[in-house]
Copies of this chain bind each other. A is one copy, B any other.
Amino acid sequence: MKYAIWIYATATIMLLGSFIMQQKKKVVLFGDSITEAGVTPGGYITRMSAMAAAEKRTADFEFIGAGIGGNKIYDLYLRLEDDVLKHKPDVVVIYIGVNDVWHKRLAGTGTDPDKFEKFYVALIRKLTDQNIKVVLCTPAAIGERTDFSNELDGDLNRYSNIIRNIAKQGNLPLVDLRKSFLDYNLQHNPANKESGVLTSDRVHLNDQGNILVAEAIWSLIKAM
């Protein structure tokens, strides 16, 4: 009788365990310096973990940061195996594009739009081939002026359109950070400031920026 109870208890624990393990989703955030900073205190990935905890979903999600400063789309493609696939993730959030545009001006080493699309699509294919779910993000901002006079706005919109189009064609979930940042700035940046609203330096996220990104990605992830 006791033995039977013990068996029953063990089986229950194992079942629960397998259930929990089945549920615990590994989410890799894959990107550039913005994502590299995301795992620091106050960073958007740290905040997503806190949001999961606040909603008692800690058991459901594990967030792993895989951001490296200066990365462009082809850098993600190069280090996919080593930095992402090795984690055997359930979901990969691709958050890239700022440097592909910015480095044209900064160092003459941005990414051509057709190449950007090619590598992006190839990256997605490598992930979906392994049944990994993919979430796309548009690059949020290079400058926060609301009168459309940020130097690289036009190009950043173009690359965001490429990502939006890939999402649409592949029926993939999209976190349109570019749109969210613009909407937020139109409301909260009446002084037409270049930075200081959602970014500290036109590109990298300040506290408010990290909150916005965390909420935007989390609200999509938690429903997956």
Contacts and interface: CB of A to CB of B under 8 A. Distances in A.
21 contacts: A74-B74, A74-B77, A74-B78, A74-B119, A77-B78, A104-B109, A105-B108, A107-B112, A108-B108, A108-B109, A109-B109, A143-B154, A149-B154, A149-B155, A149-B161, A150-B154, A150-B158, A152-B154, A153-B153, A153-B157, A154-B154
Nearest to A116: B109
A103 B149 CA distance: 18
Copies of this chain: 4
A193 interface: no
A155 to B, nearest CB: 5
Nearest to A123: B78
Contact of A155 (B147, B151, B157, B161): B151
A111 B107 CA distance: 9
A59 to B, nearest CB: 38
Contacts of A152: 154-155
Contacts of A119: 74, 78
Contacts of A143: 154
A150 B157 CA distance: 8
A123 to B, nearest CB: 10
A118 interface: yes
Interface in A75-90: 75, 77-78
